[in-house]
Each structure stands twice: as C-alpha cells, then as structure tokens.
Amino acid sequence: MNSLQEGLLRLGSQFVPFLLGVVVHEFGHGFAANLWGDSTAKDSGRLTLSPVPHIDPIGTLLFPILGMITGLPLLFGWARPVPIDPRRFKKFRPGLFWVALAGPLANAITAFICGFLCMVLLRFAPADFMFQREFTEMLKNGVYINFGLGIFNLLPIPPLDGSKIIESTLSYPAMQRYEQVAQYSTFILLALILTGAINFLGVPVQFLGMLTLEWNARLFGLI
C-alpha cells in the first residue's frame, strides 16, 4: 500500500470523528450560553448539531484533511466559534465558567459515547458485517480525537476555553491584563508545536482514551 492510499484510509477513519468533535464542541458552548441567558448563538442559527453552519473552510476542511492525508503527528483544526455575548449572562462569572467548560465537556461526553458504541459494535455486530473493522477504527478515533480537542482547548492561552475559565475567577482589571496575552497566543502555540512541547497533551489523551475503551470493554464483557 502506497503512502497516498494510507493517507486516504486515515482520512476516512479520522475526518468524521474530527468533524463531530468540533461541531459538538461549539454546540456545547452555544447550548450552555443559552441556558445562562445568552441566546446569541441560537438567534444566529448556530445552536445546531448540523455541521454546515460550523464549518470553517481552512480550520475544518483544509488543515485537517491535509494533516490526515500526510500523516502529521498533530491533528490541528477548528470550527467557526459560536457567537457568545457574556454581557447577557444571568450571572457573569459562573456563566463565563460554565460556558467555557461546556465545549471540552461536550467533547468528553462524545468520547465516552464513541467508546460505548465501539464496544456495542464489537459485541453485537454480525460476524459477516464487512465494515466492522472500519467503523470500529472510526469510533476508536472518535474517543481519542474528542479527548484531544477537549484537553487542547483547556490550555490557559487566550482565547482558548482554559483562559476563559481562569478569567471567571479574576477581577475585572486582572481579566483585562490577562486578555492582553491574546496578541501573543499564535506565537505561543507555534512555539509549543515547533518545540514538541505540545506533545505533553498526548499523555492525558492516551490515558483517558485507553481508560474509556477499557471501561466500556469490561461493561460488555469483552475483557
């Protein structure tokens, strides 16, 4: 099998779970914001699990597809951020905290669902089901990709979700100073990627992914 064929196989097993991951992440933010009194995402048609309104041509299609085909060790991409207006929250600080956390939390829930469905497939699919290996691989990728997206977004670098969680605990002047870091965020992320320091995120991603698959396998008596 040549490298192009391998790349296309990776694309086939990784793109759907990646697209699902970025969509549920943004939906989580919009859903939580609506609960806290900000209907901006809902009013703009972004409170949906349909991928179409969330797709960013560069972040959702170009970068991820190229990365999957070429086999880059780091899957990098994003969706269009849902519009959020924190001024409309019923309570600003808890609203900011939970809306920021909702994206990574949605990814964690999706990872567990992918792990569950993976074991359902392994346990109950007919022996002659020809696509069992492909769907199983896709669901396993869904576990790791969703944990990866959630944990990456918890980095305390503006404007990632981790920075908003920290901001929810800061005074207004401290929040303004912290947000000034955003102008350096691109350089910070590039430095983490180019130096390989970003690879430390692989440790919790692998741990949580393996734990999720093992727990579900035990649930279905597959271990």
Q: Kindly list the catalytic residues.
A: 26
Nearest-angstrom CA–CA distance, 107 and 151: 9
The structure tokens listed for 213 are: 């698959």
State the amino acid at position 3 in one-letter form: S
CB 42 within 8 A of CB 30: yes
Cα 7 vs. chain centroid, distance in angstroms?
22
CB 88 within 8 A of CB 38: yes
Residues 6 or more apart in contact with residue 30 via CB below 8 angstroms:
41, 42, 46, 47, 82, 84
Rg, Å, the chain Cα set:
19
